[in-house]
Amino acid sequence: MDLVLNFIRFYLIFLAVKVFINSLFKIKVVTPREVEEEVNQSSTDRFPEANIKEVAVEMVLDEICNTYVPKNKAYQVVRDDATHYFCSWECREKFIEGNMN
């Protein structure tokens, strides 16, 4: 019986020492800047929409099919000092054909 009790004591002391040593090596000295960076990183991980940046895009009206198109993607025709914008090459061609007749 003494042998079993001695083994249990030894095992408990061994576990306590192991936990103590593991906790010593897990201690990390962190600067306030590192803490701030970690908080910022974790908040963007939890809220991915925080990474999204809003960009304003100017929209223009296609006169043929009455849809709005981003200005930088629209086809253009300049006529009489006015710029006309179109969503597709086909709408542009319809506009040109309609103004030629």
pTM of the entire structure?
0.46
Domain with CATH 2.30.170.20 in the chain: 59-100
pLDDT band at 17 (very low <50, low <70, confident <90, very high): confident
Mean pLDDT across 70-92: 91
Average pLDDT, the chain: 81
Instruction: Kindly give, in sequence order, each residue whose CB lies less than 8 Å from that of residue 62, ignoring residues fewer than 6 positions away.
Output: 68, 69, 74, 85, 86, 87, 91
Strand order in the sheet with 75-79: 67-70, 59-62, 82-86, 75-79
In the prediction, which pLDDT does 70 show? 92
Nearest Cα neighbor of 98 from 50, 61, 65 is: 65
Amino acid found at 98: G
**59-100 has which fold?**
Ribosomal Protein L24e; Chain: T; (2.30.170)
Amino acid letter, 95: F
Over the stretch 24-73, which tens digit does the pLDDT of each residue have? 777 666 677 777 777 666 555 566 665 667 778 899 999 899 999 999 99
> How many CB atoms are located within 10 Å of the residue 77 CB?
15
